[in-house]
Amino acid sequence: MPDSAGEPDTSRFNVYFAGNRSDIGAEVLLTSIGNMTELLSYVNEQTDSEKDIKITVEAPERGSFGIDVNLLTDTAGLMMGQGDVVAYTEALVSTLMGLFELHQFLDGEKPRSIDVEGNENYVITNSDGNEIHVDKTVHNHYFGDEEPEQLIRVLFASLEKDENIDSFHIRDPERDESGFASKREEFDRLAGKIGEEPRTRTVRDEHVSVTITRVVFDDPGRRWEFLYQGDRIGAKIDDVGFWTQIRTRDMSFRRGDRLEVDLVREQEFSETLNDWETKNRTVIEVHDHIPASEQGDLFDEPGD
């Protein structure tokens, strides 16, 4: 919170390097903290490029190394209330935690499946069949751009090189939560192959028009069929609000109707083709329904 001198609002979390020695290699310290701050800056830039953050690091303690990282958002010139500033910086910290937790959950492997849960969350299944629920911000940052994963991998590669570090922790001192924790035996897997591109990604196409070619009402888990950009595709509709409207309103659909939707494409990288290949499509939000009877002829001239 700001004080009488106008100090910026602060959100804080602690980073611990636990081990048997009271010192830590400069390379490990600089790489770890540097990548943490770079990851925070990346999340902030993707969230709101007009907001600047200042990140300061306090000197480490002896023994287990506790490092306080302060996120300082200068409210000067920003039309934000004090509570909004704190909420914003806390959201950045939460996203950072979520990225590390998702990376650990996947354990160096690609996910077995990614399913949309409502409009704000995803259910991700790892190679062992376990599930984790993440919000769309964490999901989109991790799978939509290789930079966050690479920053985390490099961090763990530096930890793995220092045999004196037994574990790595990130905690929120303001909350009674364990936060993120990883042990030495995990470091090698979490580092993976530095420079390797993610093998899967999710692409979201917002407010696109699809034409219905096959309607499926009996099972929300089955795929409808559409014409999208000239290609025939199949996609589940995972929009709770859409299915609620169908159950409570007298809505009818037929071939040729159009839907304005947000469409998610789940892709895998093909080593053979050296390109991304779409494996699954899901409609995660339906914005509008335009019956065929209300559509104009595509070949009509204006004024006809």
Residues 42, 151: contact at Cβ < 8 Å? yes
CA 28 – CA 65 distance, rounded (Å): 12
| Angle between helix 26-47 and 82-106 (nearest 10) | 120
Distances (CA, A) of 33 to 21, 74, 95: 19, 22, 17
Structure tokens given for 35 = 């990548």
Structure tokens given for 19 = 């081990």
pLDDT tens digit string along 168-177? 888 776 665 6
CA 167 – CA 183 distance, rounded (Å): 4
pLDDT tens digit string along 96-120? 989 999 999 999 888 888 888 877 7
CA 157 – CA 193 distance, rounded (Å): 9
Contacts of residue 187, Cβ cutoff 8 Å, sequence gap at least 6: 156, 157, 159, 160, 168
User: pTM of the entire structure?
Assistant: 0.59
Structure tokens given for 231 = 């290609």
pLDDT tens digit string along 195-247? 455 567 788 888 999 999 998 877 777 899 999 999 999 999 998 888 888 88
- Please name the residue ranges forming H helices in the chain: 26-47, 82-106, 136-144, 146-161, 184-191, 240-248
Kindly report which listed range (46-50, 74-78, 137-141) carries the lowest average pLDDT score.
74-78
